[in-house]
Structure formats: structure tokens, C-alpha cells
Amino acid sequence: MRSDTSTTLARRLSDHHAAIYRHCHAPYTTPLSHQAVRALQYAAEGGATIRSLGQAIGCATNTASEITRRLADKGLITKTRRSSDERVVEVSVTSQGMVVLREHTGLDEARLAACLARLTQAERDRIAEGMALLLRCVTGGEPPC
């Protein structure tokens, strides 16, 4: 029974997330494909290579190489050869890349703040606590997850 409840809640949360994003997504100035955004997200975590990036986003190394070439051409990432092994290309997100990544994955903070302003402080606190709990859960944080 608990798994049915968890599955139902997971579906509701996913639907709510999609609707919130649709209504409050941030505008962006640099068009990117979904794969390029995922590549930026992965690279932003640090320690990315072209090979690991391809594995993370589910594409071949040559496709990951092409995606990173396009991102580098836009000034969103830098590529450097590893000094200990010149065959390995390390990928880092530039400051401009972080701005573009936030545009593509974040919410329009002004619009969201206007919505939150219509709630009571207790309601805002509940949302903040719930989101923090869910984040801890999905990132492997402390119990109860």
C-alpha cells in the first residue's frame, strides 16, 4: 500500500513541477537543445570529461564531443586536455555558461516571488521546508528519505 501511495505522490509531484516550470520558467537568451542543457548541468557538477559527459547524458563520445564543441563555440564551456593524459578532454562551465544554464533550468524569480507574496508566511515556510526535505531526499541526504 505504501508504494502505491509513494507512486501516486511521485506522479503528483512530477505533474506539479512541470506545471510550475511551465508557468514560471525563466526567459532565455541563448537557444540550446535539451542535450546541451543536460551537458551543461553535468559539467557544472565538476570533474566532467567528454567521455563521462556522454555517459551521463546517454550518447556516444563523438556526439558528446560535438555537443561540447558547440557549447565552447558559444563561450559556455571550456575544454582542456588533461596534463597527465592528453587523450582526455576535461570540460568546465564558464561564468556565462552558468548564467545560460540558470536561464534554461531555473524559474523566473520575480514571477515566483509575486506568486509567493500572495501566501501567508506560514504557507511560504511550509513550501520552503517541503522543498528542502525533498531536495535532501533526492540527493541522498539525511533521513527520513
Question: Is 8 contained in some domain?
Answer: no
What's the average model confidence in pLDDT over 39-68? 96
Element (H, E) at 89: strand 85-93
Residue 141 — pLDDT band, cuts 50, 70, 90? confident
Q: Exposure of 93 by Cβ count < 10 A (0-12 exposed, 13-18 middle, 19+ buried)?
A: buried
Grid cell locating 72: 565552447
What's the average model confidence in pLDDT over 93-119? 95
- What whole-number distance in Å separates Cα of residue 85 and Cα of residue 116? 50
What's the average model confidence in pLDDT over 90-100? 97
- 51-82 burial, b for 16+ CB within 10 Å, e for fewer? ebbbebbebeeebbbebbeebeebebbebeee
Under DSSP, the state recorded for 25 is B
Question: Is 134 contained in some domain?
Answer: no
pLDDT value at residue 140 = 85
CATH number (domain holding residue 61) = 1.10.10.10
Q: Say if pTM beats, i.e. exceeds, 0.85.
A: no
Host domain of residue 70: 19-107
Q: Assess whether the previous peptide bond of 144 is cis (omega < 30° from 0).
A: yes
Question: Is 114 contained in some domain?
Answer: no
pLDDT value at residue 79 = 96
Least confident of 4-13, 52-61, 93-102, 109-118: 4-13
**Cβ count near 46 (within 10 Å):** 10
Q: How many domains does the chain have?
A: 1
pLDDT value at residue 27 = 85
Question: Is 33 contained in some domain?
Answer: yes
Question: Is 78 contained in some domain?
Answer: yes
Question: Is 57 contained in some domain?
Answer: yes
Question: Is 93 contained in some domain?
Answer: yes
pLDDT value at residue 54 = 96
Question: Is 122 contained in some domain?
Answer: no
